[in-house]
Amino acid sequence: MRHIKIVKKGNLQELEKRGCRECQASCQSACKTSCTVGSQRCRQEEQDR
C-alpha cells in the first residue's frame, strides 16, 4: 500500500473466537488506580504462542 501503512491489525472483531473470561482482572496489576484494559494479556493468546 502506498498511502496507508497498517501498523497493527486489531483483534476486536473476534469476540466469538475467544470470550473465555479467563483474563487477568485489571486491578490486580501494577496500576491499582487506572484501569487500562488494553494493557492486559489474553491467556489463550499467550498459550497459543
By CB under 8 A, how many residues form the interface with other proteins? 45
Find the shortest distance in angstroms from Cβ 46 to other proteins: 8
Nearest to 21 by CA among 44, 47, 4: 44
Shortest reach from residue 47's CB to other proteins, in Å: 10
Contacting other proteins within 30-49 (CB under 8 A): 30-43, 45-46, 49
Q: Which of 44, 5, 11, 39 is nearest to 25 (CA)?
A: 39
Alpha-carbon distance of 32 to 49, in angstroms, equals 28
Under the rule (CB under 8 A), what is the footprint of other proteins? 1-19, 21-43, 45-46, 49
